[in-house]
Structure 1
Amino acid sequence: MPETDRALRPLLRDGAVLGEGPDAAVPVHYGAPLREQRHLLDGTAVVDLGQFELLEVRGADARSWMTTVTTQVLAATPVGSSASLAVLSPQGRVEHMASAVVLDEEALLLILDAGARAGMRRYLEMMRFAARVELIDRDDLRVLGALSPAAEVLPQLGLPAPVAVWSEPWPQVAEGGVAYGPDPEDPVGAVLTVCDTASLEALPWRPEHLAGMSSWEALRIADHRARSVREVDERSIPHELDLLRTSVHTTKGCYRGQETVAKVLNLGQPPRRLVMLHLDGSQDIPVAAGGEVRLGGSEGKVVGAVTSAALHVDLGPIALAVVRRAVPLDAALSVQVPVGEAGGESTAVWIDAAQEPIVLPRDHGARPATPKL
């Protein structure tokens, strides 16, 4: 599990059930997950993303320095603007991911997944050298997720003025980006609102104001968005997860791992690809991350693994999985679901799964950003 030593009080109300793994600090739902998801889709509820961590990069060189040490262009970007970024290894593997907001002329706020801040901070400290920057852990702040800024979703609640609001026009390809597959159907996007923690905890939250993490994950999966603590492993390159769409600026140069990015983009193919799975819900058995993905049934060849799964209010059971590039786009797949042990051996059932492509094999063509007119 990612490392963290933060003390966190979740935004609780009656019926709250805490999550597991990286989301153990916040409610997975409050007793009615599908109703909560509908409220989130309708723009009348927010999600407690208090497990997300915040790191401020402040100083005269903050934006120019972050441009040189990450995959994104942040120099000269307007105050209040948002971006997605990554840090790659020298071999082009994904090491860190973050959402960034320009706070003022000399500061950026990085929003990181649960437990991811310590690793990002170590990397940035290693790369600081003579740059005029300081790194500040912002545990006084908390993130709310919704489809619009939180103050627009809950105007009656009296939310404090936000410190930052992050959003991007997903799935639009960002400047310098390249899409490795089709846009998701009916995307809803995501908005992260960052506010003072103490002020949020003091508000009179009502049941209808909050949706659980299961709702957020269902919408994220349907939007084809990769999450660092779910989809990224030690082998991940950004092409496999469609990160070139918004998180990697392919023409700026001067960042660690750029040779791999350029080589795979121009000459090769990513060895794996992210896919969304529509799961057979007739057996009423929830799928979990880590389940094997096979061609055909239980006797088929293992071709990947589930990375995220959720129950979507409209689409039913869905999942993200990383599979081998060579898996045919129209191939029928099956997902392993452990159900217990018998005779000292673990037992499992197999759920049929249909693919919805996210990342396509390279011979289908990568799509660059549409030039602005």
Structure 2
Amino acid sequence: MSAFSQIPGAVLDHDVVSHFGDPTREQRALDRGTALSPLGDRTIVEVEGADRLTWLDSITSQSLLRLHPGDSTELLVLDPQGRVEHAAGVVDDGVSTWLIADAGDAPALAAWLKRMVFRARAVVTVRDDLSAVGVIAGGVAEELAVGAAVTPHEVPLVWSDPWNAVQPGGHQYHLGEDHPGAEYAWRIAIVDADATAALVARVDARADATWAGALAAEALRVAAWRPRWAREVDDRSIPHETDWIRSAVHLSKGCYRGQETVAKVHNLGHPPRRLTALHLDGSDSIFPAPGDVVLAGDDEVGQITSVARHHELGPIALAILSRRAPADALVVRTAHGDVAASQEIIVPAEAGATANVPRLTRLSRRPTAPDPRDA
């Protein structure tokens, strides 16, 4: 058992600390930068070797050739049709590239990478001896997390989530001036067992630091519209649908598996589905769950992917809807009744088709031969 699970008040959901007794208080502390969140639902994968960056660059959606030690980014692995298969945060330390993946995805991601090595000088290892701790930057929690991060090659392994800005080569489909992701300064420190025990002792000894569970971390993620493999990805997902191109796809890098679909939908087409943020009616005690159906009138238009109780926004959710779903108010159908929901559109129905393709003039009839009498 991890030292995190032994913290007084920890409530476990399998191997994940769900909360420490008061999710709302924990969420406020996490948002202020005074709480650390153990991420038992993440797994670390190490890629070591001289070819690691050029090799990963050639098989994933992200440009990694200019990644310097300490730099962070994010990548997706797509299938030949451009559908999302795997996702991971990326931080490099000059010797190894470290991938932070959802625990349910990491074994398959590592297995796929091992099959793709061929003659590249790269070794892929699932690091079950390492754990992840999440914080919001700018406070004592970040200081503690960075201090606890492992440094196998003299660089602290701390991943800075790139979701807070459109990354080089990326594109944002959201049309509003303000994006909640801009305030989402999320960091993940990679720690080992010794650092975990020491970190627990340090936080316990301080009055200005505390712990926050997964419920608090998820609420901040949902409020930032941040997609996640474990929640927003299914067997039909393409990165355009969740606005994931802003942080995980480089549109002008070289060819990789699925790149043709990415370019075609972005330049000429529209994604068939779109991510939307829902503000849920909290007047009843009914709370939706991932997988609950979203209705527009009597028509099913999508389903909930993530849901949370935010300390300021109240009950909120992310949902994947059909592109043709109306922008009006919707209803979420749960096992205990219907919940009214208003939309805040993340990916608009007109997303994509960014290429300025000139329209050719169509001739209504064939030209006639000149009259010889005009000569």
Q: TM-score normalised by the shorter chain: which range applies? A: 0.7 to 0.9
On the 8 A contact 2:222/2:307 being kept in 1, the answer is yes
Structure 1 residues 286 and 272, CA gap change in structure 2 (3 angstroms): same
CA apart distance, 1:284 = 1.8
Which residue identity lines up with residue 352 of structure 1 in the other structure?
Answer: A
Counterpart position of 1:11: 5
On the 8 A contact 1:11/1:201 being kept in 2, the answer is no
The structure with the greater share of residues assigned to helix is 2
| Structure (1 or 2) with the larger CA radius of gyration | 2
Deviations 1:86-106 (A, max 9, x none): 0000000000000000111x3
On the 8 A contact 1:63/1:107 being kept in 2, the answer is no
CA apart distance, 1:138 = 1.6
Q: How does 1:227-238 map to 2 (within 5 A)?
A: 227-238=228-239
On the 8 A contact 1:278/1:318 being kept in 2, the answer is yes
Deviates more, 1:156-165 or 1:256-265: 156-165
Deviations 1:102-140 (A, max 9, x none): 111x32000000121111112111211100111122222
Q: How many residues align?
A: 342
Counterpart position of 2:283: 282
Deviates more, 1:34-43 or 1:202-211: 202-211
Q: In 1, Cα distance between the equivalents of 2:30 and 2:210?
A: 9
Which residue identity lines up with residue 323 of structure 1 in the other structure?
Answer: L
Counterpart position of 2:244: 243
Deviations 1:11-58 (A, max 9, x none): 333332223xxxx31211111110000000111001001321011100
Match of 1:322 among 320, 330, 346: 320
CA apart distance, 1:77 = 1.5
Which residue identity lines up with residue 268 of structure 1 in the other structure?
Answer: G
Match of 1:309 among 307, 310, 314: 307
Match of 1:188 among 184, 207, 211: 184
Structure 1 residues 157 and 62, CA gap change in structure 2 (3 angstroms): closer
Counterpart position of 1:259: 260
Which residue identity lines up with residue 305 of structure 1 in the other structure?
Answer: Q
Matched, 1:351 2:339: yes
Match of 2:170 among 177, 181, 184: 177
CA apart distance, 1:10 = 4.0
Q: In 2, Cα distance between the equivalents of 1:99 and 1:251?
A: 20
Task: Give the TM-score, by structure 1 length.
Answer: 0.86
Structure 1 residues 161 and 18, CA gap change in structure 2 (3 angstroms): closer
Match of 2:160 among 133, 158, 167: 167
CA apart distance, 1:364 = 8.2
CA apart distance, 1:353 = 0.2
Q: In 2, Cα distance between the equivalents of 1:99 and 1:338?
A: 35
Counterpart position of 1:125: 114
Structure 1 residues 276 and 239, CA gap change in structure 2 (3 angstroms): same
Counterpart position of 1:343: none
On the 8 A contact 2:36/2:145 being kept in 1, the answer is no
Matched, 1:338 2:335: yes
Match of 1:57 among 40, 43, 47: 47
Which residue identity lines up with residue 112 of structure 1 in the other structure?
Answer: A
Where structure 1 has 5 or more consecutive residues not aligned to the other structure, the ranges are 1-6, 340-348, 368-373
Q: In 1, Cα distance between the equivalents of 2:20 and 2:2?
A: 18
Which residue identity lines up with residue 141 of structure 1 in the other structure?
Answer: L
On the 8 A contact 2:308/2:316 being kept in 1, the answer is yes
Is the partner of 2:169 in helix, strand or coil? coil
Counterpart position of 1:42: 32
Q: In 1, Cα distance between the equivalents of 2:253 and 2:143?
A: 40
Match of 2:71 among 78, 81, 89: 81
Counterpart position of 2:350: 362
CA apart distance, 1:149 = 7.5
Counterpart position of 1:345: none
Which residue identity lines up with residue 326 of structure 2 in the other structure?
Answer: P
Q: In 2, Cα distance between the equivalents of 1:356 and 1:365?
A: 22
Deviations 1:235-294 (A, max 9, x none): 001100111101011110211001100110011100000111000000022211010000
On the 8 A contact 2:68/2:93 being kept in 1, the answer is no
Structure 1 residues 29 and 92, CA gap change in structure 2 (3 angstroms): same
Counterpart position of 1:295: 296
Q: In 2, Cα distance between the equivalents of 1:265 and 1:146?
A: 33
Counterpart position of 2:217: 216
CA apart distance, 1:337 = 1.6
Structure 1 residues 286 and 9, CA gap change in structure 2 (3 angstroms): farther
Is the partner of 2:56 in helix, strand or coil? helix
Q: In 2, Cα distance between the equivalents of 1:32 and 1:219?
A: 15
Q: In 2, Cα distance between the equivalents of 1:13 and 1:180?
A: 42
Task: Give the TM-score, by structure 2 length.
Answer: 0.86
